Amino acid sequence: MKPSKQTGPDTGAEPLLRIEGVWKNYHGHHVLRGVDLEVAPHEVVCLIGASGSGKSTLLRCVNLLETVDDGAIWLGRDEITDVGTDPDEVRRRIGMVFQSYNLFPHMSVLDNITLAPVRAHRWTRRDAEARARELLDRFGLADKAHAYPDRLSGGQQQRVAIIRAMACEPSLLLLDEVTSALDPELVTEVMGIIRELKDSGMTMVLATHEMGFARDIADTVCFLQDGVLLERGPAEQMFTEPREPRTRAFLQRVLESRRL
């Protein structure tokens, strides 16, 4: 299936991320089936779809945590699925945050954030700490620099995980269900940080089950079903008048489940 025309903001720029005809299977089961997607600089794309539709797998392929079976992925002008690519270099340019925050429990917040820049990317400790403190300050966690993760709320831990992903100044941020492990009252503070990143021009691809959040934050929403990117469009249009009956049926089911 050829991709429909992109509907993100028309920046006139080349896409920052280009996914072309990506296939992925596990044990003969096709989890991604010819996915095409372009993400423009500063665009926020939300992936929605039922559990098992392939959202996390797609994000993991972009971050090279999975190899693709067919197709290719470009970051700017570099084909990152090329065999000669250094995955560490790609992960410096692409930050990723997961549902479970995965902070190292035996390290302070500051050490969690500076670990990758110093160890993997050879920043000086001084530069890494300056960057970490700037981010902690910006996101209201300056007083937690020396705290250990178990002294932080879930919302604070997830904010630290997002800051950690931003530490190497990536050009793209991937967020996989970053609010789903949180109590409802903590969701807002994590959404706030993502909103601020969007306002500062960060390019992001998010997988989320929070339709309200997707509608609010996304420029473009993509609906996946059984590994196929069935429909994409501007957030408002996707939620009010999706073209595909299957998108409509999915959104209807989500709406009904919320009413139960």
Q: Which residues bind ligand ATP (CB under 6 A)?
A: 26, 31, 49, 51-57, 177, 207
Residue 103, classified by CB atoms within 10 Å of its CB into exposed (0-12), middle (13-18) or buried (19+), is buried
Who contacts 56 (Cβ-Cβ below 8 Å, separation ≥6)? 176, 177, 207
57 binds, among ligand ATP, Mg ion, none (CB under 5 to 8 A by kind): ligand ATP
* 133, 86 contact by CB (below 8 A): no
* 30, 36 contact by CB (below 8 A): no
In the complex with ligand ATP, the residue whose CB is nearer, 33 or 159, is 33
Which listed residue (56, 112, 203, 225) binds Mg ion by CB under 5 A?
56
Q: By three-state DSSP, how is residue 15 classified?
A: coil
User: Closest approach of Cβ 69 to ligand ATP, in Å?
Assistant: 13
In the complex with ligand ATP, the residue whose CB is nearer, 51 or 200, is 51
87 binds, among ligand ATP, Mg ion, none (CB under 5 to 8 A by kind): none
User: Closest approach of Cβ 237 to ligand ATP, in Å?
Assistant: 22
* 208, 45 contact by CB (below 8 A): no
In the complex with ligand ATP, the residue whose CB is nearer, 129 or 177, is 177
- 81 part of the interface to Mg ion, by CB under 5 A: no
In the complex with ligand ATP, the residue whose CB is nearer, 132 or 211, is 211
- 53 part of the interface to Mg ion, by CB under 5 A: no
- The β-bridge relationship of strands 203-207 and 172-176 is parallel
